Amino acid sequence: MQADSLIEKTFLNLIEVHKGILHKVARLYMDSSEDRKDLQQEIIIQLWRSYHNFKGESAFSSWMYRVAINTAISYFKKEKRRSDVYTYDNIKEPENEDYNPEKDRQLEIFYQAVQELNAVEKALIFYFMEGLSHRETGIQLGLSEGNVRVKLNRTKEKLQQIIKKTNYES
């Protein structure tokens, strides 16, 4: 009983340390705050259910990437609730201490453009932004290294086109 409680505590501490992954995956895959909260909770549930499979052979973050992306990619949301979907006009400025208006605005525009990508393209962009190599991304997704390279380049081009379409100039 005490051992179970210790496992649970260790797990929740690890999630707390890596909660940035939850935030980023949810922002990429969901465009409303309500959906993002649901997805974050869903990922924690699936991580907890799979936690006994984590043997510590890889870094916790690598294992968490995989479970988070697999959950997000197969978590099909229902129709968008119009009132929840934000547009470029209502982007709010985050209240960070080291707030950089230009960078944060670019990040908001980036997240908005990513919503137009499909589930696999979102996963590729996520791993790219996290700094994973083509080979590491391939291992996570079950694709070859060359496949990741071709697809990622195409996805980046698509993303730039979406951003240009909104008349945003960096």
Residues in contact with another protein by the rule CB under 8 A: 8, 11-12, 15-16, 19-20, 22-24, 26, 33, 36-38, 40-42, 44-46, 48-50, 53-54, 63, 66-67, 69-71, 73-76, 94, 96, 98, 100, 103-104, 106-107, 109-110, 118-120, 123, 128-129, 131, 139-144, 146-147, 150-151, 156, 159-160, 163, 168, 170
Cα 12 to Cα 2, 72, 152, distances in angstroms: 15, 20, 33
Cα 100 to Cα 95, 103, 104, distances in angstroms: 10, 6, 6
Between 31 and 140, name the residue whose CB sits nearer to another protein.
Answer: 140
Between 86 and 128, name the residue whose CB sits nearer to another protein.
Answer: 128
Between 22 and 83, name the residue whose CB sits nearer to another protein.
Answer: 22
| Burial of residue 155 (number of CB atoms within 10 Å: 0-12, 13-18, 19+) | buried
Q: How far is CA 43 from the centre of its chain?
A: 11
